[in-house]
Amino acid sequence: MKPLKRIFVVGGELTTFIGKGHPDFVWKKHPDFGKRENPTLEQYLTQAINGALEKTGVDAEAIDRGFVGNFAGELFNSQGHLGAMAVRANEKLVGKPFTRLEGACASGGLAILSAMDALHAGSDVVMAVGAEVQTTVSAREGAGYLARASHWEEERSIDEFTFPAMFARRAKHYKEAFGVTDEDIAHVTVKAYENANKNPKAHMCKVSWDLESASKPGDRNPAFLGNEDLKPHLKVSDCSQVSDGGAAVILATEEGLKKLGKKPEDCIEVLAYSQATSPLGQVKDYTVLDNTKMAADQVYADAGITPEQVQVAEVHDCFAVTELLMYEALGFAEKGRGAELARAGETSLTGKIPVNTGGGLLAFGHPVGATGVKQLLEIYRQMKGQCGDYQLAERPEIGLTANMGGDDRTTVCIALKDV
Ligand code: ACO
């Protein structure tokens, strides 16, 4: 929808995203093992919430409502009721309405949408926060938890790694339909890691992939699926990360900005936002992200912009092939031609439409509930020149986010402009 009143992103905070590949992640061979623990879900919520307040100079007292995006706290952390957990972060938040939203990997996007709906309903200053901690279990066990975002009865059995297998199926169909190669798909991985290597907050800030190693299976890059039909179509380098992390943003109306003593030009503005939801287990064509396309078409229409006008995008690259499908669903490339964009470097930091400038889900990381919130904040940071070594040479004026849950079953798109 097009906002009925002007909505501004005031700013926010991102924690470092960590997991097995990050030097700060404490695992068995880490020098701090036994002396130091990885942060908990509560600590990520607290860091993100208080960091956002501090970075924006907003007093917690001014927050009217809060929305928390998290997918599977009950499974990974034995913790639900995260609205009430979030307000533990700051005593000035006690008593304020904080609510948790769940829509699989789009939980963060839904928290932002609900925050904007709250602005329409009369609030002036709201917070959206997202967090997830997934490293409490092995990747295999975690894959079973993440599989709750599929139709469990009908789809879980595709593979123990249900989501990697579902997107391997998309890769298989996409390659067969359009003659796309594993090397084409690997361009997405290489770009993601190059960007993440410039981003100290990225899970994979110290890990890199070259085109040759990311294009084929090997000792470092196993094709790990058990499903023999799908196994050739997915390797470790094609997958987003099992990450921990948090992100929070503060949004306000014009009235809210006045209360905060801020000007619109300190902020970026929401041009439009959309959500589309499709039935679980009923993908009609594995070569298209239909649901994302519905959300994108709506957001472009409501924002009054075209894909050609977008100067920076944060898209849901849960797997490398997904980013190519996103280019097509968002109108950056014609159907079947997303790979050409990646091969030509057009989505790199110096290309005509830079995508996932901080490394995306593949390499910045994917703490599920935090991802949608991080995407919005990344657009804000690019527009305000805060991205350090991965800052675009020319600050973008129009940006887009696409946060997707499950196998393209829930998508949130937000169109933004600098003020
Ligand atoms: N040879 C053969 N198989 C191997 C090898 C090897 N050299 N190394 C690993 N494997 C296999 C094993 O089966 C292993 O599982 P096991 O140890 O339980 O037997 C499996 O690969 C995973 O290996 P790990 O070392 O545990 O890998 P890691 O922890 O680095 O995880 C992985 C890599 C599996 C790709 C993980 O990052 C992942 O699951 N990513 C996807 C996360 C995801 O699905 N998120 C949701 C996205 S959906 C959405 O956003 C809409």
Residue 215 in tokens: 């294009």
Decide if 130 contacts 247 (C-beta within 8 A): yes
Round to whole Å and give the CA distance between 104 and 404: 8
> How many Å lie between the centroid of ligand 1 and the Cα of residue 145?
14
Round to whole Å and give the CA distance between 334 and 120: 36
Round to whole Å and give the CA distance between 415 and 367: 22
> How many Å lie between the centroid of ligand 1 and the Cα of residue 118?
39
Round to whole Å and give the CA distance between 373 and 45: 12
Task: Give the model's pLDDT for residue 8.
Answer: 98
> How many Å lie between the centroid of ligand 1 and the Cα of residue 161?
8
Q: Is the CB of 109 under 6 A from ligand 1?
A: no
3-state SS class at 262 = coil
Task: Give the model's pLDDT for residue 33.
Answer: 94
Axis crossing angle, helix 320-329 with helix 290-303, rounded to the nearest 10: 40
Task: Provide CB contacts within 8 A for 275, sequence distance 6+.
Answer: 109, 110, 113, 295, 410, 411, 412, 413
Strands 312-315 and 398-405: parallel
Residue 143 in tokens: 């894959």
Mutate to test the pocket of ligand 1, among 134, 221, 242, 280 (most ligand atoms within 8 A of CB): 242
Q: Is the CB of 164 under 6 A from ligand 1?
A: yes
- C-alpha distance from residue 411 to each of 139, 176, 378 (Å): 25, 26, 18
Query: Cα-flanking dihedrals φ and ψ of residue 67, to 5°?
Result: -135, 130
Mutate to test the pocket of ligand 1, among 189, 224, 227 (most ligand atoms within 8 A of CB): 224
- C-alpha distance from residue 58 to each of 29, 84, 178, 248, 379 (Å): 41, 21, 50, 13, 20
Residue type, 114: S
How is residue 135 annotated by DSSP?
T
Residue 309 in tokens: 């006008």
Round to whole Å and give the CA distance between 20 and 203: 8
Residue 45 in tokens: 């919520």
Round to whole Å and give the CA distance between 198 and 191: 11
List pLDDT tens digits, range 49-94: 999 999 999 999 999 999 999 999 999 999 999 999 999 999 999 9
How is residue 397 annotated by DSSP?
S
List b or e across 133-144, with b for residues whose CB sees 16 or more CB atoms inside 10 angstroms.
Answer: bbbbeebeebbb
- C-alpha distance from residue 276 to each of 36, 171, 237, 400 (Å): 42, 23, 29, 16
Nearest to 132 by CA among 197, 85, 87: 85
Round to whole Å and give the CA distance between 366 and 353: 22
Round to whole Å and give the CA distance between 182 and 234: 9
Any idea what the Cα angle at residue 121 is, between residues 119 and 123, rounded to 5°? Answer: 45
Round to whole Å and give the CA distance between 276 and 278: 7
Q: Is the CB of 404 under 6 A from ligand 1?
A: yes
pTM: 0.97
Q: Is the CB of 186 under 6 A from ligand 1?
A: no
Report the chain's mean pLDDT, rounded to a whole number.
98
Round to whole Å and give the CA distance between 280 and 189: 28
Task: Give the model's pLDDT for residue 191.
Answer: 98
Q: Is the CB of 178 under 6 A from ligand 1?
A: no
Decide if 328 contacts 180 (C-beta within 8 A): no
Task: Give the model's pLDDT for residue 273.
Answer: 98
Catalytic residues: 105, 366
Give nearest CA residue, ligand 1 atom 31.
139
Task: Give the model's pLDDT for residue 135.
Answer: 97
List pLDDT tens digits, range 30-50: 999 999 999 999 999 999 999
List pLDDT tens digits, range 175-216: 999 999 999 999 999 999 999 999 999 999 999 999 999 999
Q: Is the CB of 360 under 6 A from ligand 1?
A: no
Task: Provide CB contacts within 8 A for 101, sequence distance 6+.
Answer: 67, 68, 69, 70, 107, 110, 111, 114
Task: Give the model's pLDDT for residue 28.
Answer: 87
Helix, strand and coil in the chain, % to nearest 5? 40, 15, 40
Q: Which residues in the chain land under pLDDT 70?
A: none
Task: Give the model's pLDDT for residue 233.
Answer: 98
Task: Give the model's pLDDT for residue 409.
Answer: 98
